[in-house]
Chains A and B, each alone.
Chain A
Amino acid sequence: NAGVTQTPKFQVLKTGQSMTLQCAQDMNHEYMSWYRQDPGMGLRLIHYSVGAGITDQGEVPNGYNVSRSTTEDFPLRLLSAAPSQTSVYFCASSYWGINTEAFFGQGTRLTVV
């Protein structure tokens, strides 16, 4: 059981480049989300999805797009990378509703130069 898998683990981008961070889960969870964590800070929610075909914005959505075509996958797209997007990105998934725990991936460390 792989849980939540994120790829790549590390990435360096030049300013203006675009890329997609991949997230996949094999637990049949309805809810998936993306967070970013800047040095010394807590995690902040970027986007989330409550099921295939449904996405919504979190606290810091600007500069990012998401889609949810399947239950398993929830990719995060950086449209035009900026140095301010240098961060560690975490994907999480959970069942819907009360008394659920979130499972997190191991993170993608992104540097934009």
Chain B
Amino acid sequence: DAKTTQPTSMDCAEGRAANLPCNHSTISGNEYVYWYRQIHSQGPQYIIHGLKNNETNEMASLIITEDRKSSTLILPHATLRDTAVYYCIVRVINNNAGNMLTFGGGTRLMVKP
């Protein structure tokens, strides 16, 4: 799976949009971009994923650049409960290897009042 690079930490004001970047310059054509978050040592929680088109769900939006070398997770109106570590994961669905997730260090997002 392609390696990802994320900032170690970010701050965001409550009510503002939080934009979390991820660099995956070695991504292959059959690799998806997934985002998970982990709130204070709880189990990770799935947020969103995409291949090449922008995606939106009730939690967030995912913007993938045209060359797919980077992406941005957008939390449109961050709340204090969004304070967490956010993991950007690039993975290929490989029937021999299963649905493995390779976690890096993630970005620690602190939402402040």
Contact = CB atoms under 8 A, between A and B. Distances in A.
Contacts, number: 58
A97 interface: yes
Given A58-B100, A96-B99, A98-B93, A42 B106 contact: yes
Interface stretch (B12-20, B40-48, B64-72): B40-48
Interface residues of A, number: 29
Interface stretch (A11-19, A68-76, A78-86, A103-111): A103-111
Interface residues of B, number: 21
Main secondary structure of the interface of A (DSSP, over half): strand
A97 B98 CA distance: 8
Interface of B: 32, 36, 41-46, 49, 87, 93, 95, 98-106
5 contacts: A45-B100, A50-B98, A96-B99, A98-B32, A104-B43
